[in-house]
Amino acid sequence: MKEIRIKAKEEHRINKGHCWIFSNELEKVDTTITPGSIVRVLDSKGQVIGTAFFNPHSLISARIIARGEKPLEKDFLFERMDNAYSYRKQFGVRRFGRMVYGEADGLPGLVIDRYGDYLVIDILTAGMESLKSDVKEAANKIFK
């Protein structure tokens, strides 16, 4: 897995929970990394902060999808979509409303709205675009 490193004085925001890393906060923007790739995020000392979708051509170069050194689960997409829907069902949101809301549900670049029997899936990042077929498959299983 490729790695990106955050500049020394730019880590505080990320360490406090923010999930976007801007291009000017990186020591170097590696343009050889394919847009949408999953990368390991390091702080200025080389310690792992987490895992992120990376796009070297975007002002928001990285979007954190997991924190810490723990590897990303294989079915993280399905689990997070299912958790998002389960959470909303507690409040009576089942057939009409926003089912997945990007970073709030740990899925940066993905918004899913449900209108009865119809889903509108909005993919907003290269990282989520690379998982489009997995998104469709998970949505079909979860929302039937």
- pLDDT for 109-144, tens place per residue? 999 999 999 999 999 999 999 999 999 999 999 998
Contact partners, residue 50, CB within 8 Å, separation at least 6 = 40, 41, 64, 65, 66, 67, 68
- pLDDT for 7-41, tens place per residue? 998 988 998 999 999 999 999 999 999 999 999 99
- CB distance 78 to 139 below 8 Å: no
Rounded-to-integer distance, Cα 87 and Cα 69, Å? 26
Task: Specify the pTM.
Answer: 0.90
